[in-house]
Amino acid sequence: MPFNIVRGDITKMNTDAIVNAANTTLLGGGGVDGAIHRAAGPELLKECMTLGGCKMGQAKVTKGYDLSCKYIIHTVGPIWNGGGFGEEQILRSCYKNSLELAEQLGCRSVAFPLISAGVYGYPIQQAIEVALSAINEYLGDSEMQVTLMMFGGRIVAVNDTEFESIKQYISENLVGQFATRRRRHAADDAPAGQEQAAPPPPRGGETLVQAVTRLTSELELDDKELCRRANISGSLLGKIRSDGRFRLTRSEVIGLASAFDLDCEGAGQLLQLAGLPPFSMSDRADVILRYLFENDCCDILTINRALFSFDAL
Ligand code: ADP
C-alpha cells in the first residue's frame, strides 16, 4: 500500500528518508527533533548549521548519519494558534514539500512523524486528517511508500462520535467466544444448510480483472484517481490487469472496494473474486470494515483511521 499508519519510533525506521518536525533554526530541539539528533549523532547538527534555517512549511535535507535512513528531511510545521492563521495550509505544504523533496532524491520510501502535533499544539485528530489527506493527494502521482508514524500513548484517529458508533457496533456484532456459542445454538435450530448465508455470487461469473475494468469504466476513473482512491500503486494496478492469476492482499482488495464506492455486499463479492474469505464477524478488523461499508464511510482515509484507532491495522 502506498501509505500506511504505524505506531512506533521514527528513528528506528528503515525507510530511505525520515522526516523531522524541526524548528526554523534547524539546530535541534525537543520531541521528535531531539530524538532524531540523538540517534543520528553530532555530525547531523554540523550539517544543519550550514543550511541557514528553514521557513515554516518548507523542507530541507541532510544525510542520515547514524540512522538507518539515507536522508533526513527537515520541515517546520505551523504553531497552532486556533486554526484561523493558515495553520492547515502550512501543515499541508510541510507534507507536500517533504514528499516532493523525497521524490527528487529518488526515495522509494519515507516516514513522517505527526508534524506539529506535539509541542506546536496542533489538535491531534485534525493533524492526522491533514497528514493523511495531504499524503493521499500527493500519492496519485507517485509510487513512493509513505508511512505516518504515531508515537506515545493510545491515539484515536477518528472523532469521538465516529469512535463511539464503531465501538457500539463492535460490541453488538463481534462474535467472541460466548457469542459464538450462542450462535452455534441458534444454528442448531435452523433448518439444515441455513446456518450461514451464502455470499452473493459474482456478477455473471466475472473475474476480478473484469470486475475491476467494468467498475473503473462505470465510475469513469482514470488510473491515477483509481490508485489514489484505492491506496494502491500504479505498478500493482498494472499487475492486476496483466496477470489474471495475480494474488491481491486483503487490504488491497478493500482499497479497491473503497475506490469503487461499493456497499458491504459488493465489497464481500470483490473479496470472493480475489479468492479471499468473506468478512468474518469474529474478526475485529472485518467487523469495523463491515460497519464502514454499511454506513457509507468507506473512503480509504476513514478506513485507515478507523482501523488504526481500534488497533486493527
Ligand atoms: P512539533 O513541534 O512539530 O509539534 P514534536 O516533536 O513536539 O513536534 O511532536 C510531533 C509529533 O512527533 C508528536 O505527535 C510526537 O508525539 C511525535 N514524536 C515524538 N518523538 C517521536 C519519535 N521518536 N518517533 C515518532 N514520533 C515522535
Does 231 sit in the ligand 1 pocket, CB within 6 Å?
no
Q: Based on the fold, state whether residues 114 and 185 are members of the same structural domain.
A: no
Does 77 sit in the ligand 1 pocket, CB within 6 Å?
yes
Asked which of 94, 120, 150 is the last residue of a domain, the reply is 150
Is the per-residue pLDDT at 180 higher than 50?
A: no
Q: What is the mean predicted confidence (pLDDT) over 96-114?
A: 97
Angle 300-309/250-259 helices, nearest 10 degrees? 140
Is the per-residue pLDDT at 119 higher than 90?
A: yes
- Cell numbers 476513473 correspond to what residue? 221
Share of the chain above pLDDT 90, in %: 80
Q: What is the DSSP letter of 82?
A: S
Examine residue 300 and state whether it is found in any structural domain, yes or no: yes
Does 125 sit in the ligand 1 pocket, CB within 6 Å?
no
Residue 47 gets the label, from left (phi > 0), alpha (psi -120 to 50) or beta, of: alpha
**Ligand 1 geometric centre to CA of 118 (Å):** 5
Q: Based on the fold, state whether residues 111 and 220 are members of the same structural domain.
A: no
Examine residue 255 and state whether it is found in any structural domain, yes or no: yes
Strands (E), 124-183: 145-150
- The protein residue with its alpha carbon nearest to ligand 1, atom 19, reads 32
How far apart CA 188 and CA 145 sit, in angstroms, is 48
Domain count, the chain: 2
Does 115 sit in the ligand 1 pocket, CB within 6 Å?
yes
Q: Based on the fold, state whether residues 106 and 199 are members of the same structural domain.
A: no
Please state the φ and ψ torsions of residue 204, each to the nearest 5 degrees: 50, 35
Q: Based on the fold, state whether residues 70 and 144 are members of the same structural domain.
A: yes
Output the pLDDT for position 203. 62
Hey, is 249 helix, strand or coil?
Answer: coil
Examine residue 197 and state whether it is found in any structural domain, yes or no: yes
Does 35 sit in the ligand 1 pocket, CB within 6 Å?
yes
The CATH number of the domain where 132 resides is what?
3.40.220.10
Output the pLDDT for position 140. 75
Contact of 122 with 91, CB cutoff 8 Å: yes
How far apart CA 284 and CA 65 sit, in angstroms, is 41
- State the Cα angle at 183 between 179 and 184, rounded to 5°: 115
How far apart CA 303 and CA 222 sit, in angstroms, is 22
Asked which of 91, 123, 150 is the last residue of a domain, the reply is 150
Domain boundaries, position 108? 3-150
Question: Which whole-number Å values give the CA distances from 11 to 37, 53, 278, in the listed order?
Answer: 9, 22, 38
Distance of CA 7 to the CA centre of its chain: 12
Examine residue 274 and state whether it is found in any structural domain, yes or no: yes
Q: Based on the fold, state whether residues 209 and 280 are members of the same structural domain.
A: yes
Q: Based on the fold, state whether residues 190 and 277 are members of the same structural domain.
A: yes
pLDDT grade for 312, boundaries at 50, 70 and 90? confident
Examine residue 155 and state whether it is found in any structural domain, yes or no: no
Question: Which whole-number Å values give the CA distances from 252 to 34, 173, 199, 201, 258, in the listed order?
Answer: 36, 24, 20, 21, 10
Specify the pairing of strand 59-63 against strand 71-76: antiparallel
pLDDT tens profile 181-226: 344 344 333 344 343 444 444 566 789 999 999 999 999 999 999 9
Q: Based on the fold, state whether residues 192 and 240 are members of the same structural domain.
A: yes
Residues counted in the chain: 313
How far apart CA 19 and CA 11 sit, in angstroms, is 10
Does 78 sit in the ligand 1 pocket, CB within 6 Å?
no
pLDDT tens profile 42-61: 999 999 999 999 999 999 99
Active site annotation includes 311: no
Does 93 sit in the ligand 1 pocket, CB within 6 Å?
no
pLDDT grade for 24, boundaries at 50, 70 and 90? very high
Q: Based on the fold, state whether residues 196 and 128 are members of the same structural domain.
A: no
Q: Based on the fold, state whether residues 177 and 82 are members of the same structural domain.
A: no
Q: What is the mean predicted confidence (pLDDT) over 60-75?
A: 98
From the alpha carbon of 10, which atom of ligand 1 is closest? 24
pLDDT tens profile 277-291: 999 999 999 999 999
pLDDT grade for 141, boundaries at 50, 70 and 90? confident
Asked which of 150, 181, 206 is the last residue of a domain, the reply is 150
| Per-residue cell: 125 | 485528530
Tell which wins on pLDDT, 243 or 218. Answer: 218
**Ligand 1 geometric centre to CA of 24 (Å):** 16
How far apart CA 19 and CA 74 sit, in angstroms, is 6
From the alpha carbon of 30, which atom of ligand 1 is closest? 6
* Average pLDDT along the chain: 90
- For the beta sheet containing 59-63, the strands, ordered from the edge strand earlier in sequence to the opposite edge, are 3-7, 145-150, 109-112, 17-22, 71-76, 59-63
**Ligand 1 geometric centre to CA of 116 (Å):** 8
Q: Based on the fold, state whether residues 274 and 174 are members of the same structural domain.
A: yes
How far apart CA 43 and CA 49 sit, in angstroms, is 10
Examine residue 70 and state whether it is found in any structural domain, yes or no: yes
- State the Cα angle at 311 between 307 and 313, rounded to 5°: 50
Which of 25, 32, 67, 72 for a ligand 1 pocket mutation test, highest count of atoms within 8 Å of Cβ? 32
Examine residue 96 and state whether it is found in any structural domain, yes or no: yes
From the alpha carbon of 9, which atom of ligand 1 is closest? 24
Does 31 sit in the ligand 1 pocket, CB within 6 Å?
yes
Q: What is the mean predicted confidence (pLDDT) over 101-121?
A: 97
The identity of residue 60, as a single letter, is K
| Per-residue cell: 298 | 468507506
Q: Spell out the residues 6+ positions from residue 72 whose beta carbon is closer than 8 angstroms to its own.
A: 17, 18, 19, 20, 36, 40, 44, 61, 62, 63, 64
**Ligand 1 geometric centre to CA of 140 (Å):** 27
Choose, from 9, 16, 33, 296, the residue flagged as catalytic: 33
Residue 130: is it exposed, middle or buried by C-beta count within 10 angstroms (0-12/13-18/19+)?
buried
Examine residue 106 and state whether it is found in any structural domain, yes or no: yes
How far apart CA 112 and CA 149 sit, in angstroms, is 6
Q: Based on the fold, state whether residues 174 and 196 are members of the same structural domain.
A: yes
pLDDT grade for 176, boundaries at 50, 70 and 90? confident
Q: Based on the fold, state whether residues 124 and 174 are members of the same structural domain.
A: no
**Ligand 1 geometric centre to CA of 22 (Å):** 10
